[in-house]
Amino acid sequence: MRKKLVVGNWKMHGSRAANAALLSGLKELGPWSADVAVCVPFPYLAETALALTGQAVGLGAQDCSAFEQGAYTGEVSSAMLADLGCRYVIVGHSERRAYHHESDQLVADKAKAALAHGVTPIVCVGETLAEREAGQTEAVVKRQLAAVIHTLTHCIGEIVLAYEPVWAIGTGLTATPEQAQAVHAVLRKQLHAATQKSDAMRILYGGSVKPDNALQLFAQPDIDGGLIGGAALKAADFAAICRAAH
Ligand code: 13P
């Protein structure tokens, strides 16, 4: 039985005051039986780590460099994330693939860099609306995952995978539980061929998860929790989603 994981992706939202209010709201509403984490913007990692002291909520970042260290202005290394107490880092979010032209290989290299420092990469895959309508969903997510499997080889069992259909992100258009489950099953099968640990690996769903649809999504056999955007910015909504994951 896989323990569910719910991760809030704050994206480029927040301020010191807003974060303090959100985190203290979560503290009052928790704990939950699922594993829970928040992936916050880089400038707020240190302060969030302090605010989460003694709580079961894990800390994560939203990206990391594929490089170890050096002259890479503006980059943040996975060693730095580990140093700040990060347990997770999101890599390959569709917003980074789209706006920063991140390739499948770069995403895989970032996942490798994270694992090298004991930070669990949450690797995102997902198709665009045009790709879904062209019947390419399976091919796209399999291609994105294949690069990570090829690069991590025997370490692939250490990642968390997240299926985030691009057309469902921030649109209010959630994949139906059946649509999401179908893709999760494809991904689990691909992982199964690569590692004996596939049954223990968590595959999260992301894309317009809300308190009113979380329960149905999380009830699917291969959906092991969620990667939550907008609803993670409201303590009551995020807490309700965490409660739905049991
Ligand atoms: P929304 O929950 O706002 O659709 O965002 C999903 C997402 O991109 C999480 O990484």
Residue 199 confidence (pLDDT):
96
Higher per-residue confidence, 129 vs 174: 129
Confidence of residue 19 (pLDDT cuts 50, 70, 90): very high
Q: Looking at ligand 1, which residue's alpha carbon is closest to its atom 5?
A: 229
Chain segment 157-169, per-residue pLDDT in tens: 999 999 999 999 9
CATH number at residue 53: 3.20.20.70
Residue showing tokens 């002291």? 53
Residue 240 confidence (pLDDT):
98
Name residues contacting ligand 1 (CB within 6 A): 9, 93, 164, 169-170, 206-209, 227-231
Structural domains of the chain, count: 1
Chain segment 204-230, per-residue pLDDT in tens: 999 999 999 999 999 999 999 999 999
Residue 173 confidence (pLDDT):
86
Q: Is this structure's pTM higher than 0.95?
A: yes
In which domain, by residue range, is 37 found? 5-244
The number of CA neighbours under 13 Å toward the Cβ of 220 is 25
> How remote is the CA of residue 71 from the centroid of ligand 1, in Å?
32
Active site residues: 93, 164
What's the CA angle centered on 157, arms 169 and 55, to 5 degrees? 65
Chain segment 63-82, per-residue pLDDT in tens: 999 999 999 999 999 999 99
